[in-house]
Structure 1
Amino acid sequence: MVLPSEPVTNIESMYRRKNGRVLIEIKLTSVIQLFNSFDPAPFYEKEIDSEAEDYIVDTVEDFPAKTKFMIRIYLPPAIVASEEAKKIVPAIHNHFRYRMLVTERKYRAKLRFGRVSLLIGLSFLAIALIASQLVAALNSHLLAQLLSYSLLILGWVAMWQPITVFLYELWPIIRLKKIYEKISRMEIEILPLPQPG
């Protein structure tokens, strides 16, 4: 990545562009450097190194959702045309497609959990409201009123989990899934490392 000589005023000024697309540039000394060396899968199905994945995902997250990107990978000139280098593009696309599917599965599981907890919460709230009304109607003593308010509070506390799921927990999962999907379709360019001087 080429850093500007002037002070950085925004994140966009740190990245070069090509045809209106932000370049996510990665310089490698070997093809295997891009992949998780502990992953036993065949080369083209290997998991991307976590640092490389984080760099790509973080870059996409730094920009507005409609921004277009291109991944540009620089390799030593001697290996740019190698068979291993040719497998980089499908390997990156496969990796992020897999991440997208895993995130989709997490979203469905969280949505299912949210629906069940909403049903439980609403049922408990209804029971608590009815019990609260009964206690308040049967006795106007201070202890009965305290019990009535306690039941009411418990009913609303039971709604905390479903509210948290639907208001806060689902949206980050949806956003991450969209990012993975976007990366899985990005154009990827393999170029030789620029020679010094």
Structure 2
Amino acid sequence: MPSTRNEAGITRIALDVHNVDQLFSTFDPSPFHEFSLNSTAAQYIASEAWYAPRGNRFIIELGLRGKAADRPAAEKLKTVLRFHFKRAAATEAQNLRKLIRTGLVSLAIGMVVLAICTALARAVDEAPIRDGWREGIRDGISVFGWVANWRPAQILFYDWWPVRRSRNLYRRLAEADVVAAKPRARVAGAEEGAALDTMPGEATGS
């Protein structure tokens, strides 16, 4: 059975582990008391969801050693999944606001530098400098002015949309449903859930 299946309006992501607690990591009890997804599990779910059609909703199919997970395990995962990805979406939303603000401030600075460089280039044009030197200095100043706008252009044209897409993906994952996976036959020597079966019970981050 494939680990991810796209249907009409739905993307199903299969998780198969030895124990549902493998999927969780806990913070130090002070000041946090909530479970969080193991970083390996969170990365796996997000990477599987990344290429799903934008309008699809997600269903996580949880299996335990090839058998359907019980309802308490599915409900526990759903609660932790919602908490984890809501927090991740909030973080990405904050990162997006910071990035846009940085881009706008950088653009303002870049435009001021460009205006100054344009004025200096015109001054060089009128200065009593030998022709070869004049063109070189003028072009160098003009290039510097345009280069000052490279970073804001990169932010405002390219850098923001992957962050926005991650934010939207995490919001959708926070609303994912968790159901028991259908029992499946084991395959000798290899299992669909091998990557998650071998992951540590605790992760350094989430």
TM bracket (short chain): 0.7 to 0.9
SS at match of 1:47: strand
> Shift in Å at residue 18 of structure 1?
6.7
Note the C-alpha offset of 1:41: 5.2
Judge conservation of contact 1:69–1:186 (CA < 8 Å) in 2.
yes
Match of 1:80, as an amino acid? D
| Aligned-partner Cα distance in 1 for 2:92–2:135 | 47
Q: Which residue of 2 aligns with 1:46?
A: 35
Any residues of structure 2 matched to 1:115-194 within 5 Å, and which? 115-139=104-128, 141=130, 142-190=132-180
1:30 aligns with 2:19: yes
* Secondary structure at the counterpart of residue 65 of structure 1: coil
Counterpart residue type for residue 27 of structure 2:
D
Does 2:75 align with 1:86? Answer: yes
Q: Structure 1 stretch 58-67 or stretch 117-126: which is displaced more?
A: 58-67
Normalising to structure 1: TM-score of the pair?
0.81
Deviation of 1:86 after TM superposition, in Å, equals 3.3
Structure 1: runs of 5+ lacking an equivalent: 4-13
Deviating 4+ runs (over 3 angstroms): 14-20, 41-44, 75-79, 190-196
Quick check: 156-165 or 45-54, which moved more? Answer: 45-54
The equivalent of 1:98 in structure 2 is: 87
* Amino acid aligned to 1:59: E
- Stretch deviating more after TM superposition (16-25 or 101-110): 16-25
Percentage of pairs with the same residue: 25
Task: Give the unaligned 5+ runs of structure 2.
Answer: 187-206
Greater helix percent: which structure? 1
Q: Kindly tell me: are residues 117 and 18 of structure 1, through their superposed partners in 2, closer, same or farther at Cα, counting changes over 3 Å?
A: closer
Aligned to 2:53: 64
> Per the alignment, in what secondary structure is the counterpart of residue 87 of structure 1?
helix
Q: Which has the higher contact order (CA 8 A, sep 6+)?
A: 2
Q: TM-score, normalised by structure 2?
A: 0.77
Give 1 or 2: higher strand fraction: 2
For residues 78 and 15 of structure 1, the distance between their equivalents in structure 2, rounded to whole angstroms, comes to 16
Q: Which residue among 101, 108, 114 is the counterpart of 2:97?
A: 108
For residue 32 of structure 1, report the CA deviation from its aligned partner.
1.2
For 1:24, the aligned partner's letter is: I
Closer/same/farther in 2, CA of residues 60 and 17 from structure 1, 3 Å limit: closer
The Cα offsets for residues 111-140 of structure 1, whole Å up to 9 and x where unpaired, read as: 111111000000000000011011112235
How many angstroms does 1:91 deviate by? Answer: 1.0
